[in-house]
Structure 1
Amino acid sequence: MKKDRGKVWLGVAGVTVNELGQWLVVKKAYSGLKGRWSLPAGFVNAGETVDEAVVRELKEETGIDCYVSGLIGFRTGVIRGDISDNMAIFYCRMKDEQQKICLQEKELLEAKWMFPKELAQDEMTSVMLKEMASNQFEKHQLEGIEGINPGDVFGYSSYKLFFKK
C-alpha cells in the first residue's frame, strides 16, 4: 500500500562500509532506480528522527545492524515543479563485521558489498551513488551531538544536532 506522503518528502540513505572498504549497495525492484545500484534508503516515519530512520531502513532492507557515525550529505530537489524531495545521507558502521546480508525480497533484487571504484565504473550505478563513489566523504562528515535540550517549551521527545567537530 502506497502511503500519502504529501508534497514534502523526507528520506534517508546510508553508506555502510565494511573492513575492506566496500560499500553496502542494493538494486531496487521498483521505481526509477529499478535494477540500478543505489544505497539502502527509505522514508522517515512519524515519531522517528532521520538517524533512527536510516538504521531501521538498513535493517529492513539488508538485515544489517548498524549505527550512525555521521551525516555526509543532503540531497534535495523538486519533482515536476510540485513535490519537495529531500534525503539525508548518513555514514554508518556495522555493529558486527561478521553479519551476513539478508535481502528483503519484496523491495530488492540484490544487495552486496562493492568497492567505490567498481560503483563509479558500473553503468548500472545510480547518478547519486556514482558521484558519491568519486568523492572522499568520510573526511567531511558531520558528527551527531546528543543530550541537548533546546527548552521544554518545544516538547521534543528526541533531539540531535549534526556539526563538524
Structure 2
Amino acid sequence: MGEKRGNVWIAAAGLVVNEADEWLVVKKKYGGLKGKWSLPAGFVQPGEMIDEAAIREIKEETGIDAEIVGFLGMRTGVIRGEISDNMAIFLLRALSHTITVQTDELFTAEFLSKQRLREDRHTSRLLRYLLQLEPFHYFPAHDGLNPGEPFGYTKYSLYFKNSKY
C-alpha cells in the first residue's frame, strides 16, 4: 500500500459549499469510503501546496471550480502501525455549478442538502461529524507573511486563528 507514496502520506480534502448552502460530495469506487458520500480529496503532488491540492482535486474529481475560504482541520492517523496518513480539510466556496464526474475514481458527485446527507445511510462518518460542527469556525488564510530568505519559499500560505474571531 505504501510503496508508491512511501510511509508518509499528505492529502487534502475540500468541503465545497454552493450558494444554496449545499455540500459537494462524492461516492468513491475504492477503499474504505467505497459507495459512501465523502469529500473530494487526494494526495499532494510535488511542488504543490496543500491548499492548492484541495482545489486541484476538487476540479479533477468533479469539474467544480472553487476558492478557499479557510482551513477547517486535520485528520491524522497511522495505518497498520507503519503509514502516517494525514489529510488537511479546507472550507471552499463553489465558483461553478456544472459537475463533471471523474468516472475512473467516482461513481457520482452531487451538491446535496445537509438534510439529505443527515438522512442518507451512505453518508461517511467524517461528513456526519462535519454536519454536527456547523456553523464552522475556520482559520482564514493570511497573506504577506512569507518569510522568504533564507528558507527559499516560492509559494507560502499561513492559516491561523485570527484573534478578532
TM-score (norm 2): 0.92
Does the aligned pair in 1 maintain the 2:7–2:82 contact within 8 Å? Answer: yes
Written as runs of structure 1 = structure 2, the 5 A alignment for 1:72-83 is 72-83=72-83
Q: Distance in 1 between matches of 2:6 and 2:135?
A: 31
Aligned: 1:4 with 2:4: yes
Deviating runs (4+, > 4 A) in structure 1? none
Return 74-83 or 128-137, whichever deviates more.
Answer: 128-137
TM-superposed CA distance for 1:19, in Å, is: 1.3
SS of 2:26's equivalent in the other structure is strand
SS of 1:152's equivalent in the other structure is coil
Specify the code of the residue in structure 1 equivalent to 2:119. Answer: Q
2:161 counterpart residue number = 164
TM-superposed CA distance for 1:145, in Å, is: 1.1
Aligned: 1:51 with 2:51: yes
1:33 counterpart residue number = 33
2:66 counterpart residue number = 66
Q: Distance in 2 between matches of 1:7 and 1:148?
A: 31
TM-superposed CA distance for 1:81, in Å, is: 0.9
TM-superposed CA distance for 1:3, in Å, is: 7.0
Q: Residues 71-94 of structure 1: CA distance to partner in whole angstroms, max 9, x if unpaired?
A: 011101111111111110000012
Give the fraction of aligned pairs with identical amino acids, expressed as a percent: 51
Does the aligned pair in 1 maintain the 2:16–2:23 contact within 8 Å? Answer: yes
TM-superposed CA distance for 1:137, in Å, is: 4.8
2:99 counterpart residue number = 101
TM-superposed CA distance for 1:118, in Å, is: 2.1
2:131 counterpart residue number = 133
Specify the code of the residue in structure 1 equivalent to 2:69. Answer: S
SS of 1:130's equivalent in the other structure is helix
Does the aligned pair in 1 maintain the 2:146–2:157 contact within 8 Å? Answer: no
Does the aligned pair in 2 maintain the 1:120–1:131 contact within 8 Å? Answer: no
Q: Which runs of 5+ in 2 are unaligned?
A: none
Aligned length: 161
Q: Residues 99-122 of structure 1: CA distance to partner in whole angstroms, max 9, x if unpaired?
A: 210111111001111122322232
